[in-house]
């Protein structure tokens, strides 16, 4: 194989200070014909300003419906080596932690079975093996499985859950995101591998409201670490920040959304009205040595986030303000909740309707009934502004029962 062919468009993108993806493809092209052909196809895409890929055609490994995405060039005569060029999604370890030998194992498997090109990582969080042929899929899976790896999700299934670095390297972690992610992923293996739902469903797990995995913006179920008691203040460290020249009033206090943090410049002390704190994380992120998340920790469960397609992008909204995240009971409360939500969605959704869109179409009241939760003000920014609401027979029955009670 040769990489000496002139590719003036791609050559332009080998220049400049930012790492070049063209050089990456060339490194694999030196050993792999598919990667070499990819360069030719890509050069043509750059010339013609258009894609040369087709989707569709079910491919996969035995017993799974997801984890492999079929990909074919639209011009197999011109680019025969990438007639089939499928993606395999490999479930990443929690927090994307690797030992060097893990990377070598993955590289050896992918050298044997595919193009040698990867994404570290895909948008959902999987290790992405980019480009192989149908006849390699099962063998590649076998080698992965024997090395302790499994495929992630694709299609209308549970997509690979993902979490932030959490207690592995962050003092903000309000629960064990790494363990929770591992536990939930192991618990829902069948949902992950066998698409049987109206559309995809995503779980993303952040250890604090900074939300480093963008859970609120893209997960149907956003698990966001939080605390119920107060921010812990180390006044000695507050003074140290002041002595170091930090303008605590303007950089910390003035940005507080609820105006609940006060700085006494004479004493160099901070006072927080924790009952009015909404735990936005600004002050803690600004002064990580002086301010710490509270002690009574757990998670806020939010529902409905998704990207644009179909009804518009949604941000997840609060459903459970505080859920303890107990390893001891195997996160039973969360599993109980999500299973009720999935059942209701699976029963009621149209094809390609995410759970957020279904709740929007059917109304929050119906969803809350399905998951057996009472409405509370934390779920909304403000109450309804119109007088168009429903009454149900059970409302009148309750009224009647109350009257009887009073009469007695």
Partner 1 sequence: MISQYAPTDIGPPHYWDRMPKMSQDNYGQWQYHEKVKPGVLKHVGPAGALYTVRAASPRLLSIETLRWFADLAEKYCDGNLRFTSRHNVEFLTSHEENVEPLIAELEAEGWPVGGTGKSLKNLIHTQGWVHCHSAATDASGTVKAVMDELFDYFKRDDLPAKLKISMACCLNMCGAVHCSDIAFVGVHRKIPRVMDDAVANACEIPNIIAACPTGAIRPNPKAKSVTINEEKCMYCGNCFSVCPSMPIADPEHDGVAVFVGGKVSDSRTGPAFSKLVIPFIPNEPPRWDSLVAAIKNLVEIWVNNARKGERYGEWVERIGWEKFFELANLPFTDKHIDDFTFSLKTFRTSAQFKFTDK
Q: Among residue numbers 208 through 227, which ones bind partner 1 (CB under 8 A)?
A: 209-218
Which of these segments, 11-19, 329-337, 362-370, 382-390, binds partner 1 (CB under 8 A)? 11-19
User: Is residue 383 close enough to count as binding partner 1 by CB under 8 A?
Assistant: no
Q: Which of 162, 231, 233, 325: binder of partner 1 (CB under 8 A)?
A: 162
Q: Tell me which of 133, 235, 274, 285 binds partner 1, using CB under 8 A.
A: 285
Residue 314 three-state SS: strand
Verify binding: residue 148, partner 1, rule CB under 8 A.
yes
Q: Is 346 in the site for partner 1 (CB under 8 A)?
A: no
Q: Which is nearer to partner 1, 3 or 400 (CB)?
A: 3
Please state, as a whole number, how many other Cβ atoms lie within 10 Å of the Cβ of residue 100: 7
Given the rule CB under 8 A, which of 266-274, 278-286, 320-328, 331-339 is the region that contacts partner 1?
278-286
Q: Exactly one of 68, 81, 88, 106 binds partner 1 (CB under 8 A); which one?
A: 106
- C-alpha dihedral sign at 231, 327, 189, 196: negative
Task: Provide, rounded to whole angstroms, the least separation between the CB of residue 95 and partner 1.
Answer: 6
> Is there binding between residue 322 and partner 1 (CB under 8 A)?
no
315 binds partner 1, rule: CB under 8 A: yes
391 binds partner 1 (CB under 8 A): no
Q: Would you count residue 196 as binding partner 1 (CB under 8 A)?
A: no
382 near partner 1, rule: CB under 8 A: no
CA distance 261 to 276: 9
In the sheet with 317-323, reading across from the earlier edge strand, the strands are: 162-163, 203-206, 221-227, 297-303, 317-323
Q: Which stretch binds partner 1 (CB under 8 A): 58-66, 238-246, 328-336, 397-405?
A: 58-66
Residue 236 within binding range of partner 1, rule CB under 8 A: no
Cα–Cα distance measured from residue 98 to residue 105, given in angstroms and rounded to the nearest whole number: 11
Handedness of CA 398, 402, 407, 408 (dihedral sign): positive
131 belongs to the binding site for partner 1 (CB under 8 A): yes
- 1 scored as a contact of partner 1 (CB under 8 A): no
189 and 180 in contact (C-beta within 8 Å)? no
Decide whether 96 or 197 has the Cβ nearer to partner 1.
Answer: 96
End-to-end CA distance of the chain: 93
**107 C-beta neighbours (distance < 10 Å), count:** 12
Q: Binding partner 1 by CB under 8 A: which of 65, 228, 260, 288?
A: 288
Stretch that binds partner 1, among 20-28, 262-270, 333-341, 387-395 (CB under 8 A): 20-28
Q: Can you tell me which of 189, 276, 329, 378 binds partner 1, judged by CB under 8 A?
A: 189
**Closest listed residue to residue 110, CA positions, set 93, 84, 132:** 132
What is the Cα–Cα distance from 114 to 99, expressed in whole angstroms?
22
Asked if 59 and 70 count as a contact pair (C-beta separation under 8 A), the reply is yes
368 vs 319: CA distance, rounded Å: 9
């Amino acid at each position: 194989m040769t990489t000496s062919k002139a590719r003036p468009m791609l050559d332009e993108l080998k220049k400049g200070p930012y790492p070049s993806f063209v050089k990456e493809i060339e490194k694999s092209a030196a050993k792999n014909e598919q990667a070499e052909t990819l360069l030719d196809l890509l050069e043509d895409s750059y010339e013609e300003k258009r894609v040369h890929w087709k989707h569709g055609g079910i491919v996969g490994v035995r017993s799974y419906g997801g984890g492999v995405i079929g990909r074919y060039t639209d011009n197999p005569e011109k680019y025969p080596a990438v007639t089939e060029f499928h993606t395999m999604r490999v479930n990443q370890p929690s927090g994307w932690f690797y030992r060097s030998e893990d990377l070598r194992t993955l590289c050896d498997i992918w050298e044997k079975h595919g193009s040698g090109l990867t994404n570290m990582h895909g948008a959902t969080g999987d290790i992405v093996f980019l480009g192989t042929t149908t006849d390699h899929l099962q063998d590649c899976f076998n080698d992965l499985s024997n090395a302790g790896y499994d495929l992630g999700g694709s299609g209308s299934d549970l997509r690979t859950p993902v979490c932030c670095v959490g207690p592995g390297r962050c003092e903000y972690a309000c629960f064990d995101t790494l363990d929770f992610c591992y536990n939930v992923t192991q618990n829902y293996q069948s949902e992950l591998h066998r698409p049987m739902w109206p559309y995809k469903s995503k779980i993303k797990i952040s250890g604090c409201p900074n939300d480093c995995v963008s859970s609120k913006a893209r997960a149907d179920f956003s698990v966001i670490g939080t605390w119920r008691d107060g921010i812990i203040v180390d006044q000695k460290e507050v003074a140290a920040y002041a002595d170091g020249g930090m303008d605590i009033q303007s950089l910390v206090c003035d940005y507080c959304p609820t105006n609940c943090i006060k700085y006494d410049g004479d004493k160099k002390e901070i006072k927080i009205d924790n009952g009015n704190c909404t735990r936005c994380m600004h002050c803690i992120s600004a002064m990580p040595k002086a301010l710490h998340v509270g002690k009574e920790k757990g998670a806020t469960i939010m529902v409905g986030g998704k990207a644009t397609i179909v009804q518009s992008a949604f941000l997840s909204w609060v459903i459970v303000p505080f859920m303890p995240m107990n390893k001891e009971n195997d996160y039973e409360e969360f599993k109980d909740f999500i299973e009720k939500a999935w059942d209701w969605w699976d029963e009621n959704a149209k094809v390609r309707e995410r759970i957020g869109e279904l709740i929007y179409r059917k109304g929050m009241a119906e969803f809350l009934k399905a998951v057996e939760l009472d409405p509370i003000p934390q779920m909304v920014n403000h109450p309804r502004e119109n007088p168009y609401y429903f009454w149900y027979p059970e409302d009148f029955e309750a009224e009647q029962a109350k009257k009887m009670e009073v009469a007695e």
